[in-house]
Amino acid sequence: MHNYLSAGFIAYLTRDLLLGVRNKTDLVKPLIFFLLVSALVPLSIAPEAERLAQLAPGMIWIFAVLATLLSVERLFSDDLQDGSLEQMLMSPNLLIMPILGKITAHWVMIGLPLTLLSPVLGVWFSLPTVAVTPMMLSLAIGTAVLCLIGAVGAALTLPRQGGVLLALLVMPLYMPVLIFGSATIQSAVDGLDWTAPLVILVALLAIAIALCPLAINAGLRLAKNG
């Protein structure tokens, strides 16, 4: 199945992963941020296990949102600076596969490590062990949606390099993911069926995969000209 479409996907996926591996500090920063903000919670609220456990589902998701928001800014700006974005935009076609490749690489470098790191937060916040698997699943799927939506904002704010404007654009669009993500963990904590909100997250992911690349493609072409 080495057709032209999947080749574009794989080429950009491996390229971005390689770049990420060679520039490890950029990869670690959002993770340290994720842990650091989490450490602020017991300090600013209370170190009691009971209260922390109550806040945990929401807190973990808010921090995941902030960590992805911080990192998604870089998704296209480096490529814009070194000229490789212009190379990519030389193609007259819709750049859906290259864009998906880049976002997948971004998720592997940000979303996946966050997911793998989240059990640490679960321990810190005394999250019940039954909720750990739902938490990791919801983070794995949810951060993928966040990367896709965030990439739309990153493409549109490319001339200004993201910043606060990026946050203003994408935060409202993050709300459904936040709601269903924390609901997945909360349902598991309450002993309810947690697959229902998780399945909605999967549905959001399907919509985002289908529609976000179109908006990103249009946004990148604008940024090149504007």
List residues near another protein by CB under 8 A.
Answer: 152, 156-157, 159-160, 165, 168-169, 171-173, 175-176, 179-180, 183, 200, 204, 207, 211, 215, 218-219, 222-223, 225-226
Shortest CB 92 distance to another protein, Å: 18
Shortest CB 17 distance to another protein, Å: 27
Rounded Cα distance between 207 and 217, Å, is 16
Shortest CB 180 distance to another protein, Å: 7
> In this complex, which beta carbon is closest to another protein, that of residue 16 or of residue 73?
73
Shortest CB 57 distance to another protein, Å: 12
Q: Are 122 and 131 a contacting pair, CB within 8 Å?
A: yes
Q: Are 67 and 114 a contacting pair, CB within 8 Å?
A: yes
Helix (H, G, I), strand (E, B) or coil at 126: coil
- Which residues have a Cβ under 8 Å from the Cβ of 52 and sit 6 or more positions away? 41, 42, 45, 46, 124, 125, 126
Q: Are 100 and 10 a contacting pair, CB within 8 Å?
A: no
Rounded Cα distance between 63 and 168, Å, is 16
> In this complex, which beta carbon is closest to another protein, that of residue 118 or of residue 182?
182
> In this complex, which beta carbon is closest to another protein, that of residue 13 or of residue 64?
64
Rounded Cα distance between 134 and 184, Å, is 6
Q: Are 143 and 205 a contacting pair, CB within 8 Å?
A: no
Shortest CB 222 distance to another protein, Å: 5
Rounded Cα distance between 67 and 27, Å, is 11
Shortest CB 8 distance to another protein, Å: 22
> In this complex, which beta carbon is closest to another protein, that of residue 112 or of residue 173?
173
> In this complex, which beta carbon is closest to another protein, that of residue 109 or of residue 146?
146
> In this complex, which beta carbon is closest to another protein, that of residue 89 or of residue 218?
218
